[in-house]
């Protein structure tokens, strides 16, 4: 492609993540720096199909770097999962003389982008925007740091009640298929236990750890549970423990969608800015059908098929830390 790229479009798809606006801002302003025409597509793939697209100038992205969510909105789109829907999307791009697109989102977003490229050979670069941090090829995804800090802030408040009443709290955080939020929240909040989808912890093991806490006269505790934990959600685990272990009064707290909202942290703002910059530079250099990530503090380009299919492993040694530290 090289210098044939003159008009690019950017959109968000899937779940929102704090920092998406910082990425949009970077794409627009770096594009303007290179004298590109930059367009925003509203409501993700649905907007791409329906032609909900507008030109974005530098002023249009002023005062958004600190805002959560996405000014371009986001939506699920069943129609894009059909070949006919993707043809409509391609027609929209052709009608607006768009040369390349930048898709901000997670696994589902990248899957759609990869299929779209295979059918139409239309240049696309993905930017990983998801609080789950489960995308292969990048150390961190946009929104993860903010989500963890939001969760830790909530856990810190719950700790006050747990300590005051000598209670054992099971706190559920997001992570249907990924335990990164639970792992980092647990380590960052000093939790007694962490339960995630990637590593099944038997309830018997948790009971033994709680027994040790009683011996140490530690009469309150915090257990962080990812919503996709194979043993069950926070309520189900709490019910099991209540039947097996009577020394604690168990309580449950579900943090929920609070984790997706709020002003992005400095880390997420910088990460998103670097990725937005990298995506535009990558398109100008001829990159396509790839994700722009950050690995070892360097901008990298990873084939979308790898970002989608390869598993991002969790360091098992980190899971053993709560028991050692408590």
Residues labelled as active-site residues: 132
- What is the number of alpha carbons within 13 Å of residue 212 lying toward its C-beta? 13
How many whole angstroms separate alpha carbon 142 and alpha carbon 135?
10
* Number of other CB atoms surrounding residue 69 within 10 Å: 18
Stretch (H or E) spanning 56: strand 53-56
Comparing C-alpha atoms, which of 171, 170, 223, 231 is closest to residue 197? 231
Comparing C-alpha atoms, which of 311, 260, 303 is closest to residue 151? 260
- Residue whose entry in the numeric block shows the structure tokens 């059918």: 119
How many whole angstroms separate alpha carbon 119 and alpha carbon 187?
44
Do 201 and 179 contact (CB within 8 A), yes or no?
no
Do 194 and 315 contact (CB within 8 A), yes or no?
no
């Amino acid at each position: 492609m090289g210098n044939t790229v003159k008009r690019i479009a950017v959109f968000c798809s899937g779940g929102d993540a704090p920092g998406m606006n910082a990425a949009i801002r970077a794409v627009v302003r770096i594009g303007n720096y290179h004298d590109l025409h930059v367009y925003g597509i509203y409501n993700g793939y649905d907007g791409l199909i329906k032609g909900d697209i507008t030109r974005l100038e530098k002023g249009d992205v002023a005062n958004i770097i600190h805002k959560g969510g996405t000014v371009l909105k986001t939506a699920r789109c069943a129609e894009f999962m059909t070949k006919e829907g993707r043809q409509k999307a391609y027609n929209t791009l052709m009608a607006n003389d768009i040369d390349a697109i930048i898709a901000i989102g997670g696994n589902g977003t990248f899957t759609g982008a990869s299929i779209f490229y295979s059918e139409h050979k239309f240049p696309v670069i993905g930017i990983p925007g998801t609080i789950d941090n489960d995308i292969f090829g990048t150390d961190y995804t946009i929104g993860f740091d903010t989500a963890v800090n939001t969760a830790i802030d909530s856990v810190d408040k719950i700790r006050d009640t747990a300590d005051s009443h000598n209670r054992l709290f099971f706190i559920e955080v997001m992570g249907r298929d990924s335990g990164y939020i639970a792992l980092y929240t647990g380590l960052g909040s000093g939790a007694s236990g962490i339960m995630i989808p990637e590593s099944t912890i038997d309830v018997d093991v948790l009971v033994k750890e709680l027994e040790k806490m009683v011996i140490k006269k530690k009469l309150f505790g915090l257990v962080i549970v990812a919503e996709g934990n194979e043993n069950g959600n926070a309520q189900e685990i709490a019910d099991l423990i209540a039947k097996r272990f009577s020394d604690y009064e168990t309580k449950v707290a579900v943090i929920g969608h609070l984790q997706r909202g709020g002003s992005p942290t400095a880390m997420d703002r910088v990460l998103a800015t670097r990725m937005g910059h990298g995506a535009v530079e990558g398109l100008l250099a001829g990159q396509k059908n790839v994700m722009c990530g950050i690995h070892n503090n360097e901008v990298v380009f990873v084939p979308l098929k790898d970002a989608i299919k390869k598993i991002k492993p969790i360091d098992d040694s980190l899971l053993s830390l709560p028991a050692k530290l408590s």
